[in-house]
Amino acid sequence: MNADPQQPRLLRVCRIGRAQGLKGEVNVFAFTDEPERRFSPGSVLTVADGSRPFTVVSSRRFRNRWIVHFQGIDDRTAAEALSAIELYVQPDPEEEAADDDAWYLEDLVGLEVRMAPGNGLGRPADELVGRVGSVIDSSAQQLLEVSMESSITPADVDGHPSTGLVPFVEQLVPEVDPEAGYIGIDPPKGLLPGLD
């Protein structure tokens, strides 16, 4: 996002989805755990390079999604043109100072994936399962693509490691420690190959 290491990293807030109605509202897929704050009237979000600001006029939650109206987007045609745009904010200095445990999704790539203590499969705590290969956005939540250890699941005939997907939710990923280099998972039976 920001190539200059002196510039703060931006926080990804949402991806704009389809238009909602005829008056310029859009559905957004939120990446933030503070949607009420980030989508409050007057909040300013921006594209990754900061070249285009989006000011929130109004927002409302509808089931598991947010519907947002941005300033200057007043009809369905304008709303449809925004589809797939991702919006960001700069973290407040107080946020960065207060949150020593802050990390970004891209920080997860490459981390070891271990079994969490007391996992439902009864496997040893800290057993190495694999590594996070990528973080994938889906319509419901992010998914962690896990490249499995060959001791758990053998590689395919071409030597590529087997992979599996873990929904990135607290119930299944109770431990995240980028500084220590791992995440802890508690998957149900059958979610990942070799963990039955």
Span 28-60, pLDDT tens digits: 988 777 889 999 999 999 998 888 999 999 999
Domains of the chain in start order, with CATH, are 11-93 (2.40.30.60), 105-185 (2.30.30.240)
pLDDT (0 to 100) of residue 124: 93
> Is residue 13's pLDDT more than 80?
yes
| pTM score over 0.75 | no
Q: Which of 6-10, 143-147, 158-162, 180-184 has the lowest mean pLDDT?
A: 6-10
Q: Count CB atoms within 10 A of the CB of residue 13.
A: 22
**DSSP 8-class letter at 3:** -
Span 104-143, pLDDT tens digits: 677 888 999 999 999 999 999 999 999 999 888 766 678 8
Q: If pLDDT is split at 50, 70 and 90, which confidence band does 102 have?
A: low
> Is residue 4's pLDDT more than 80?
no
107 φ/ψ angles, rounded to the nearest 5 degrees: -65, -20
pLDDT (mean) for 7-21: 82
pLDDT (0 to 100) of residue 108: 87
pLDDT (0 to 100) of residue 107: 81
Distance set, CA 9 to CA 1, 33, 44, 50, 90 (Å): 7, 17, 16, 12, 7
Identify which has the larger pLDDT, 151 or 187.
Answer: 187
Q: If pLDDT is split at 50, 70 and 90, which confidence band does 6 have?
A: very low
What residues pair up with 56 in beta bridges, in sequence order?
70
- Segment (H or E) for 96: helix 93-98
Q: If pLDDT is split at 50, 70 and 90, which confidence band does 157 have?
A: confident
Strand, helix or coil at 98? helix
Which two three-digit tokens encode residue 48? 């990754």
Q: Give the C-alpha separation, 87 to 51, whole Å.
A: 11
Q: Give the C-alpha separation, 31 to 10, whole Å.
A: 12
